[in-house]
Amino acid sequence: MEVVTTPAELRRRTAAWRRQGHRVGLVPTMGAIHAGHLSLCDRARAGCTRVVASIFINPLQFGTGEDLERYPRDPVADQERLRDAGVDCCFLPEPRAMYPRGFATRVSVERGTERWEGAVRPGHFAGVATVVAKLFVATGPCWAYFGDKDAQQAQMVARLAHDLDTGIRVVVCPTVREPDGLALSSRNRYLDPESRQAAPCLAQGLRAAVAAFAAGTRGAAALAEHVAAPVRDQPLAELEYAAIVHPRTFAPLRRADARSRALVAASIRGVRLLDTIILGAPAGL
């Protein structure tokens, strides 16, 4: 596996691959590589002939008081996991390579970002959009793979790719879960044993909403309450939001259909977790 550290190096590498007739896949990560990331690499390998995975903890998407400094970092182990997954190139830039002195640009996607994560974490989506735009420019036309767990972010990225005529196809892949339903996340490493036992309450709420929808419930408020109840009942959890939303605009709904999306965000002893599901999905979450 080749390792490159600047956008210019990555641009040269991917341009050479395309001249050779390869389809390039991109898997953006912030490191702390887990099975969810590796599933994206697998999808990229299946759909493309060359795969780039980036490891970059993006400071622009962390707000004041968030966990930038303690975010898990293990680049050696991460590179080993990516190499074992068949990744051809790891993009491992330093912040100064992505944001050199005098950097003064932000990218903002206005539609679909004003609620939920956009409201709870002001500036977060602009930080994500900016780094993703830079990754897209450096990689060039490719297929880019994102996880469904961060569904609002994935929809924003798809909008960015479309609106800026990037020539990039955004592929959203299913959430990978632990046997008890907990969605895989780099932040799961922060959970102490008691918190880890409590954390599946988010998935339990989503499972309850899917079951209620299958049983005939269509009112969004009632379905959202099914999502919220197991989180509220968990003493270690603090609910931030639970909602039933349109799958593309993320606007709150009054009445749900099979394509509607359930969202939930909560903190478990200060560890912030997200989860989501489409209501018409199979109930085996």
The predicted pLDDT at position 57 comes to: 97
Q: Which of 116, 141, 173 is the last residue of a domain?
A: 173
Q: What is the pLDDT of residue 284?
A: 55
The mean pLDDT value for 93-98 works out to 98
Shared-domain flag, residues 79 and 199: no
Q: At 188, is the pLDDT very low, low, confident or very high (cuts 50, 70, 90)?
A: very high
What is the number of domains present in the chain? 2
Q: Are 154 and 112 in contact (CB under 8 A)?
A: no
Instruction: Give the tens place of pLDDT for each residue, 220-248.
Output: 999 999 999 999 999 999 999 999 999 99
Q: Residue with structure tokens 């994935």?
A: 154
Asked whether residue 138 falls in the same domain as residue 7, the answer is: yes
Q: How far apart are CA 280 and CA 24, in angstroms?
A: 32
User: In the chain, what is the greatest distance between 2 CA atoms, to the nearest angstrom?
Assistant: 57
Residue 65: the pLDDT is 78
Report the candidate in 264, 123, 268, 161 with the shortest Cα–Cα distance to residue 204.
Answer: 264
Asked, for residue 85, whether it belongs to a domain, the answer is yes
Does residue 164 sit in the same domain as residue 202? no
Q: Identify whether 284 is part of a domain.
A: no
Same domain, 154 and 221: no
31 and 137 within one domain? yes
**Is the Cβ–Cβ distance between 177 and 183 less than 8 Å?**
yes
- Kindly state whether residue 53 falls inside one of the protein's structural domains: yes
How does residue 66 score in pLDDT terms, banded at 50, 70 and 90? confident
- Residues 45, 108, single domain; the answer is yes
Shared-domain flag, residues 127 and 166: yes
Could you give the 3-state DSSP secondary structure of residue 26? strand
DSSP state of 189: G
Q: What is the mean pLDDT of the chain?
A: 96
Determine the structural domain holding residue 19 and report its residue range. Answer: 2-173
Clarify whether residues 191 and 121 are in a common domain: no
Closest among 169, 163, 168, 171 to 141, alpha carbons compared: 168
- Give the residue ranges of DSSP H helices in 85-233: 95-98, 117-120, 124-139, 151-163, 193-198, 201-214, 220-232
Which of 116, 145, 173 represents a domain boundary (last residue)? 173
Catalytic positions, written as ranges: 37
